[in-house]
Chain A
């Protein structure tokens, strides 16, 4: 089994009622990954605002994305046989229902 990083990209803005429903779905989904024994770490949510520091002069900007919906809202680490398996495990992730997405990145083995 190898480790994969899930980066969750926020979807559209949600109403309070939608957020409550969405929260229930996240609980179910994470629980499901845990039951399958593939959730290495549920990870942490990230603040929406941040800074991007880049270039030799370490120029500071407000980030890569103009759209709030593209911002990475959090991450998890899962265990999977290969990248296909890791992609397959994103099935049922609630973020798809609200126009968001999951970036799946293999964590390089040293």
Chain B
């Protein structure tokens, strides 16, 4: 019996849905999902008895195809399909052949790629885009998406339903022109970036869920890299950034699953393969003139990933990169990271001055702003200020991981004993 790849069902479900949406038309997304679900359900029942087939993917395709042809015969579901396709699917003579062709394996995963662009509907809120991508491009169930966002399956169900009503009204994935793809590339980048961030910084305390989300983001960004239509320099830079961050994932949590600050992370746990791939992608992204925010973020991540120790981190270069990033993509979080890098370069007092200059912006409600103030105050020797900032940060903590992280840092403060 063959062992299946991990997450094989999830990825096959997404592959089948993408093709079935072409077969039935965008208006029949629910039917496409049902047929894909059915094929997997059949596999779950039959394979334990008959054994896993030689080509599990071909087996699932055959089951989905058979049911698709039945559905087409039963009702004119393809009324929504593209007109030239509808004609072929309408006739008993051409139907099976056309369905065969639609399901034929393609090296470029065109349908899955288009699915992503179809779901990155600019009119939808970003949280809905990410939920849609998780369900339809990655095959996560509602309960699984809900656990990643720390919400209820019912709430995610409603969000998905509303979002699907919008995308299914907006034409079919196939109708997106090259110009549409280009115009939506930014939105798709953003959705993948958010998906990765949800895994990296997100609320779910369970390490397995977080790693899975990061891995999915990597898989999806590589779909963009593999396809010539979407392999732009910004795409390569985003792929580089995600690989370089993912390389550091294994050291971000300690044995009990708690967050660790960069200083305390064990660099020998970093994934050298992912880091090398990230650096190679960063090289490829820098062949032209383009310097997107992803390029700068990836360059910063590369500085961290290649530094042999925390002390050997090239802070001066990192500060310059943050300066450039603040110029093209200013955000409170970028400003905060820049101030922290300045503190590494010029000492905690300069860092505190930078942070003070940011006060009054959106950062006041951001837990890591107060954590940074606490950390730098402690390093500058002002322990009572540090304690007050940790208290403020704790009040803002969004999940148990963050809370434990901050409590531990605050405790370390009092362990040192009174200053001389």
Q: Is B71 an interface residue (CB 8 A)?
A: no
Question: Could you tell me the distance between the alpha carbons of A12 and B139 in the complex, rounded to whole angstroms?
Answer: 17
Q: Which of B26-62 contact A (CB under 8 A)?
A: 37-38, 40-49
Asked whether A30 and B48 contact (CB < 8 A) given A16-B13, A17-B10, A19-B40, the answer is yes
Contacts of B48 in A (CB 8 A): 23, 26-27, 30, 42
Most chain B CB within a 10 A radius of its CB, from A14, A15, A43, A48: A15
Contact indicator A17/B44 (Cβ below 8 Å) = no
With CB as the reference atom, state the residue of chain B lying closest to A42: B49
Q: What total of chain B residues lie within 8 Å of the partner, measured CB to CB?
A: 26
Question: Could you tell me the distance between the alpha carbons of A92 and B65 in the complex, rounded to whole angstroms?
Answer: 34
Shortest B85–chain A CB gap in Å is 27
Contact indicator A16/B43 (Cβ below 8 Å) = no
Most chain A CB within a 10 A radius of its CB, from B4, B48, B142: B48
Question: Could you tell me the distance between the alpha carbons of A14 and B44 in the complex, rounded to whole angstroms?
Answer: 11
Q: Is B143 an interface residue (CB 8 A)?
A: yes
Contacts of B139 in A (CB 8 A): 15-17
Contact indicator B45/A15 (Cβ below 8 Å) = no
Residues on B facing A (Cβ under 8 Å) = 1, 4, 7-10, 12-13, 37-38, 40-49, 139-144
27 examples of A-B residue contacts, CB within 8 angstroms: A15-B10, A15-B140, A15-B142, A16-B10, A16-B12, A16-B13, A17-B9, A17-B10, A17-B139, A17-B144, A18-B141, A19-B41, A19-B44, A20-B9, A20-B10, A20-B44, A22-B44, A23-B44, A23-B47, A26-B44, A26-B48, A30-B49, A42-B48, A44-B49, A45-B49, A48-B41, A73-B45
Residues on A facing B (Cβ under 8 Å) = 13-20, 22-23, 26-27, 30, 42-45, 48, 73-74
Q: With A17-B144, A20-B4 given, can you name 15 additional A-B contacts, CB distance below 8 Å?
A: A16-B12, A16-B40, A20-B9, A20-B10, A22-B44, A23-B44, A26-B48, A27-B1, A27-B47, A42-B49, A44-B49, A45-B42, A45-B45, A45-B49, A73-B45
